[in-house]
Amino acid sequence: MPTLISWPSRRTILKPLPRLERLYEGGVPEGAPFVGRSPSMEPGLVTLVPPGTGGVRDYADIMNRHIPGRILAPQPDTPLTDFGFGHVVLNFSGYGYHARGIPNWLVERLTQLRANGTQLGIYFHELFASGPPWSSAFWLRPVQRRIAIDLANLASYWLTNCNMAAQWLRQHGAAVPHRVLPVYSNVGELPMRPTPRADKIVVFGGPANRAQVYRRLDAGFWRWVLEEGLAVHDIGPPICTAEYDRLRESQRIHAHGSLPAEQVSQRLSEARFGLLCYPPQVVAKSGVFAAYSAHGVCPILFADDYQVHDGLKPDHHYAAGYTSLTEGRLSAEAIGGAAFDWYQPHRIDAHAQAFRDLMRASA
C-alpha cells in the first residue's frame, strides 16, 4: 500500500533552488541546451489540458508528438481512474478548468493522485489573474493564488514560461526540480530566418488581444503605413466591434479570419512586422510573440512601460511602439534577427528535452 503523502496548505521557509533558469542578455538559458531525441512513449503518461481549444491545448498537442501519451481534458465528474496512476503532466491555466479560475476540484483530484504515488509535473502557463477593483479577477485573486500555491506544493517538478512566474513559484512552492522556458510557437518554427521580407504587417492572435492592438493604432501609425506602402494583414477570428468593422470596410486591413497553422506560418515568414499589445514582463508567455520570433518577424510591442525581462531588451528584440521605426532610428531587419536568435534556445525540442530531464530527476 502506498505511503500517504501529506501536503502542507501553507509554505513557510524556503531555501533558494539552484535550478532556476535565468536568461542571459542574449536570451540563452543558463546551462547547456539539450539535444533532442526521437519520440518515445512515456509509460503511463497522461497529459491534462483544459476542455476546448486554445493556446494551452495547442501547446500540449505539439508536446504530445514529441513525448507521446494520453491526453485528457478532465471535468469535475471525471473518474479518478481516468487520470491514471503513473505519470501526470498538468497544463495549468486556471480559467481553462473553471469559469472563474478557481478549479478547487482539480486540486482535490491531484492531491488524491499524489497520495497514491503518482508523479506530477506541471507547466504553469498562468498563475492567477489580476485586475482593477471593479473586476471579478480582483476579488477572486486570493482564491486563485491559493490554488496556485497548492499546485506548486503538489508538483514533483514544474516548468513555467517567464522569470516573474518562476520567482513566485520558488517562493511559494515545494523545492523540486524546475525549468524556465519561454513558450514556443504553436504555428511552426523555421530552421533559418527567411529574407528578404515583404512590406506586410501581421496582426495575429485571439479577438481580445487583437482588439487591444487596434485601439493603440493612431493616425500617425496609419500615415506611416500609407507612406511606406505597407499592408496590414489580420489573422484570427473576427472581432465584434464597430471599430474593427470600419477597418475592414475601409480596406485598411486585409482580414483573413482563422487560418491553419501552416498558412499562418507561411504569412509570418513573409511579413516584416508583427503587432502585439502585451506587458513586457510576461511577454515570454505569449504564443503570439513566440510565433513572431520563431519566424524572424520584427515584433512591435505596445505597452505602458518597457524594461528588460527574460532576456528581451526593448528596441533590440522588439520595437517599443512604432515611433522609432517611423523615425528611422531602428532597423526592422536587425530586430527581427535578434528576436529569431532569442527564440532558438527554447524551441519545441528544448521543451521536450526539459520534460524528459525533469521526469528523470524527480522519479
CA distance 237 to 255: 9
Strands 119-124, 273-277: parallel, antiparallel or unpaired by DSSP? unpaired
Torsion of CA 203, 131, 161, 303, to 10 degrees: 40
pLDDT of residue 44: 85
What is the helix (H) or strand (E) element at residue 89, kind and residue range?
strand 87-92
Per the structure block, which three cell numbers stand in for 269? 515568414
Q: Which amino acid is at 271?
A: A
Cβ atoms of residues 257 and 233 within 8 Å = no
Alpha carbon separation from 134 to 98, 128, 140, 212, 339 (Å, rounded)? 20, 17, 11, 19, 37
Q: How far apart are CA 81 and CA 109, in angstroms?
A: 10
Reading the block at residue 194, the C-alpha cell is 527567411
pTM, full prediction: 0.86
- Alpha carbons 315 and 300: distance in angstroms, whole number: 9
Which has the closest alpha carbon to 140: 132, 76, 27? 132
DSSP 3-state assignment of 173? coil
C-alpha cell at 48: 491534462
Are the beta carbons of 82 and 47 closer than 8 angstroms?
no
Give the pLDDT of residue 202.
98
The pLDDT tens digits along the chain (363 residues) read 332 222 333 333 333 333 334 333 334 443 333 333 344 555 589 999 999 888 899 999 999 999 999 999 999 999 999 998 889 999 999 888 998 888 999 999 999 999 999 999 999 999 976 666 656 666 576 889 999 999 999 999 999 999 999 999 999 998 999 999 999 999 999 999 999 999 999 999 999 999 999 999 999 999 999 999 999 999 999 999 999 999 999 999 999 999 999 999 999 999 999 999 999 999 999 999 999 999 999 999 999 999 999 999 999 999 999 999 999 999 999 999 999 999 999 999 999 999 999 999 987
Q: How far is CA 43 from the centre of its chain?
A: 27
Cell 515584433, located at residue: 299
Identity of the amino acid at 299: P
CB 181 within 8 A of CB 210: no
Q: Could you say which DSSP state residue 68 is in?
A: -
Residue showing cell 536568461: 23
| Rg from Cα positions in the chain | 21
- Specify the residue for cell string 504515488: 117
Rounded Cα distance, 331 and 71, in Å: 43
Q: Is the dihedral of CA 218, 221, 227, 233 positive or negative?
A: negative
